[in-house]
Chains A and B, each alone.
Chain A
Amino acid sequence: QKEVEQNSGPLSVPEGAIASLNCTYSDRGSQSFFWYRQYSGKSPELIMFIYSNGDKEDGRFTAQLNKASQYVSLLIRDSQPSDSATYLCAASISGGYNKLIFGAGTRLAVHP
C-alpha cells in the first residue's frame, strides 16, 4: 500500500516565525511532489512542487526533497495568520501517469 504520511498537528507557530511541515512517502519510485494549502471548507490550492533533490524557493516558501530518505518538507518563512490552514503533501505514484497519493494534511495555526 503506497502511503504519504504527515503529522496531523496542529502545528502552532507565532507570527513571524518559520513553520516547518514534514512529509514522508513510501513509494521509492515517486518522482513528483506537491504541496497544497487548504483553507477550511475550501478546495486545495497548489503552493509548491518539486521534482529534484534539494531545495526550491518561491517567495516565503521553500520545498525540500530528499529522495534517499523519502522525505519532503515545506518551510514557510515569516509566517502570517493568513497562512493558518491545512497543508496537504502529495506524491506521484510510480508508473501511475500522474496519479497522486495525498497525505491527510498538517493543520498549521499561526498566532499573532
Chain B
Amino acid sequence: DGGITQSPKYLFRKEGQNVTLSCEQNLNHDAMYWYRQDPGQGLRLIYYSQIVNDFQKGDIAEGYSVSREKKESFPLTVTSAQKNPTAFYLCASHRGTGGQPQHFGDGTRLSIL
C-alpha cells in the first residue's frame, strides 16, 4: 500500500543529544514537509523540500536540520540547539506543483527525558 511512514512513533531525547526522525514515502511525491504541532496550536512549518538535494527553511527551522538525498526520504534531525523539542512531529508530502493537497504520515511524538 502507498503511504507515508514515520518512525519511530515515540521518541525520547536526553539533554544534549541529537535525534533523527524518519519519514519515507512510496507515493512518488515530489514535495515533502516537516511540521511541528504543540497542544492547542496549529501546525508550524519546520522545513520543506521540492526536489531531491534541495530544501528550504520554514518558519521555525532553528535547532533542526534535514536532508533530501532520495526522493522518497526526508529525515529530520532535532539537534541539541532546539531547547524545547517536546512536540508532535508530522511529515507530509504532495504530488506535482503548488496547490495540491498535502497528505500526512502518522507522526512522531518526541519528549524530553
Contact for A88 among B43, B58, B106, CB less than 8 A: B43
Q: Which of A42, A43, A101, A104 has the most CB of B within 10 A?
A: A43
B interface footprint on A12-30 (CB within 8 Å = 1, 0 otherwise): 0000000000000000000
| CB–CB A4/B48 < 8 A | no
Chain B, Cβ-Cβ closest to A100: B102
Q: How many A-B residue pairs have CB under 8 A?
A: 57
Residues of A in contact, count (CB < 8 Å)? 26
Known: A43-B104, A44-B90, A92-B99. A98 touches B31 (CB 8 A): yes
Whole-angstrom distance between the alpha carbons of A98 and B32 in the complex? 11
Known: A42-B106, A43-B106, A44-B90. A98 touches B100 (CB 8 A): yes
Task: Name the B residues within 8 Å of A90 (CB-CB).
Answer: 43
Whole-angstrom distance between the alpha carbons of A109 and B90 in the complex? 24
Q: A: which residues have CB within 8 A of B? A: 4, 8, 31-32, 34, 36, 42-46, 49, 51, 88, 90, 92, 96-105
Q: B: which residues have CB within 8 A of A? A: 31, 35, 40-45, 48, 50, 58, 90, 94, 97-107
